[in-house]
Amino acid sequence: MDDLKQLALFAEVVRAGSLSAAARHLGISTSAVSQQLRAL
């Protein structure tokens, strides 16, 4: 995933208030969100 998409994912986590809420909104697993944030 490129940096811009990772930043958008980070913004979604902030907006949603949690990793799990962002994951539900994006339709991906919480672990996938966590992995992308670590890669940022």
Q: What pLDDT does 1 receive?
A: 65
pLDDT digits (tens, 9 = 90+) for 1-40: 688 999 999 999 999 999 999 999 999 999 999 999 999 8
pLDDT of residue 25: 97
* DSSP track, 1-39: --HHHHHHHHHHHHHHSSHHHHHHHHTS-HHHHHHHHHH
Q: How far is residue 10's CA from residue 32's CA, in Å, rounded to a whole number?
A: 12
Q: Are 12 and 25 a contacting pair, CB within 8 Å? A: yes
Tokens linked to 8: 């958008």
Show the domain range for 14.
3-39
CA distance 21 to 4: 20
The pLDDT score that the predictor gives to residue 2 is: 86
Number of domains in the chain: 1
Specify the pLDDT at position 28.
Answer: 98
pTM: 0.85
